[in-house]
Structure 1
Amino acid sequence: MFTGIVEEIGLVLSIKDVDKSKVIKIKCKKVIEDIDIGDSICTNGVCLTATKLGKDYFIADVMMESLKLSNISKLKEGDSVNLERALSVNGRLNGHIVSGHIDGMGTIIGAENHGNSTVIKVECSNELLQYMVCKGSVTLDGTSLTISSLKENYFEVSIIPHTKDESIIFKKNIGQAINIECDMLLKYIKRLMDFSTYKSNENNITLNLLKENGFI
């Protein structure tokens, strides 16, 4: 579990193809200070398991599903990535609940300066947009952001200077792919709403019954 607050920008040292997967080596410092082999590191929003740790790097395997859904497959040596360690039990949840399981990718289609902030426009499928609400949360390349505007085929987020300095979002160009993880709570709500009727062994639980008893 993560918060979407980027701790460090890492550098891709190498990325190799290995039997329908990839092995990635990332240079970093802060995120490996207190972790062990087998711990999770959120990399551009993708939860990866550290399989080897060095003095200033970690190595992780990237499975086919992650390659299919994320821009990890597009990374190359010398690229920058957002990094975050898993949330500790006594940590503050400064962003929102992030699983590190990417729902899909969007495309950056615009960027406009608005005084002290910059508005980024991201185009994506309706399948992803259905899990978004204006002023709700979304994770882009592992960064927790607030949706400032929601349109028919894209959404906007406002980037403050601190986020600009501490993440890679401004290293991306118009037309580049960006990883998207939608709000986990909205995904659960949508899943629940899709079940208009649920049959248990003894009772029929309907949508109206759940509403009447305060579950939704």
Structure 2
Amino acid sequence: MFTGIIEELGEAGPLDWHGDSGVLTVHGPLVAADARHGDSIAVNGVCLTVVSVDGQRFAVDVMKETFDRSSLGTLRPGDPVNLERAATLATRLGGHLVQGHVDGVATVVGRTPGDRWEQVRFSLPTGLDRYVVEKGSIAVDGVSLTVMEVSDGDATAPAPAPAGAAAGGSGTAGWFGVGLIPTTLQLTTLGRKPVGALVNLEVDVIAKYVAKQLDGARSVGGVRP
């Protein structure tokens, strides 16, 4: 479990492919300092398990399912990545409950800079729109953000997601917007993602459970639409 508060802006290293899976090496002095085999670290919002540590670098296994549902397969050596170690019982919950289980891949569709902050809009993959509400929480590349606005209109730029990447289905169901403060712009990848760039989305897990329960109740006539 994570909180969506990025601890370090790391750097992707080589991705060693083994058939349809691979081993990704990441440079991150802070998170690697106390990392051990079996620890969980979120890389751009994806929960991954450490398999080895070498000084300021750590390596993680990435399975086919993860490549299919996230943007990790598009990383190149030198690309910046958001890093967060798993939360402990003593961790401050500064963001929201984040599992590191990506629900879909979206695209940056617009950026509007302000004096010190910036408004950024992302496409919303079909099927995920029901879980995104104004003032609700969402994790974008592992960053806990508050939704400022949601629209069911067409996104201004379709999401060129990798095959199978958008778990919510192909196409988009509109877009949502967030506001990025100076700290987020400076210390995470979101400050440098151009229009057209891919990002990993994780919607609020509580919203998913509530929706499933309501769907089940409706199917047996317990709840009126």
Which amino acid letter does the alignment assign opposite residue 98 of structure 1? V
Question: Which residue number in structure 2 is paired with residue 108 of structure 1?
Answer: 108
2:210 pairs with 1:195: no
1:207 aligns with 2:222: yes
User: Matched residues in 2 for 1:170 and 1:161: separation?
Assistant: 9
Read off the aligned partner of 1:44 and give its amino acid letter. N
Residues 75-130 of structure 1: per-residue CA shift (max 9 Å, x gap): 01111100000001111100000000000011101000133210001012231111
> C-alpha separation between the residues in 2 aligned to 1:32 and 1:146?
29
State whether structure 2 residue 176 is matched by structure 1 residue 155. Answer: yes
- Tell me if structure 1 keeps the 8 A contact 2:33–2:56: no
Q: Deviations over 1:185-205 (max 9, x none)?
A: 10110111110268xxxxxx8
Q: Which moved more, 1:57-66 or 1:188-197?
A: 188-197
- 2:141 is aligned with 1:141: yes
SS at 1:127's partner residue?
Answer: coil
Structure 2 CA distance, aligned partners of 1:8 and 1:148?
Answer: 25
Hey, what does 2:165 align to over in structure 1?
Answer: none
Equivalent AA in structure 2 for residue 150 of structure 1: V
What's 1:177 paired with?
198
Q: Which amino acid aligns with 2:51?
A: T
Task: Map 1:4-43 to 2 at 5 A.
Answer: 4-43=4-43
Post-superposition shift, 1:34?
Answer: 2.2
Larger Rg: 1
In the aligned structure 1, how far is the partner of 2:211 from the partner of 2:109? Answer: 27
CA offsets 1:26-65 (integer angstroms, 9 cap, x no match): 1111112223110000000000000001111000011111
Equivalent AA in structure 2 for residue 28 of structure 1 = G
Deviation digits for residues 158-198 of structure 1 (CA, Å, limit 9, x no counterpart)? 00001111101122111111100001110110111110268
Residues of 2 paired with 1:197 and 1:75: CA distance?
A: 42
Instruction: Using the aligned pairs only, state the percent identity.
Output: 35
For 2:6 and 2:26, the matched residues in 1 are separated by 15
| 1-structure distance, mates of 2:193, 2:114 | 18
* Structure 1 gap ranges (5+): 199-204, 212-216
Q: TM-score by structure 1 length?
A: 0.90
TM-score under structure 2 normalisation?
Answer: 0.87
Matches within 5 A, 1:79-118: 79-118=79-118
Q: Structure 2 regions of 5+ residues with no counterpart?
A: 153-173
Matches of 1:34 and 1:13 in 2, distance apart? 19
CA distance in structure 2 between the aligned counterparts of 1:114 and 1:80, rounded to whole angstroms: 24
State how many pairs are aligned: 203
Kept in 1: contact 2:45–2:142 (CA 8 A): yes
- Preserved CA contact (<8 Å) 2:138 2:147: yes
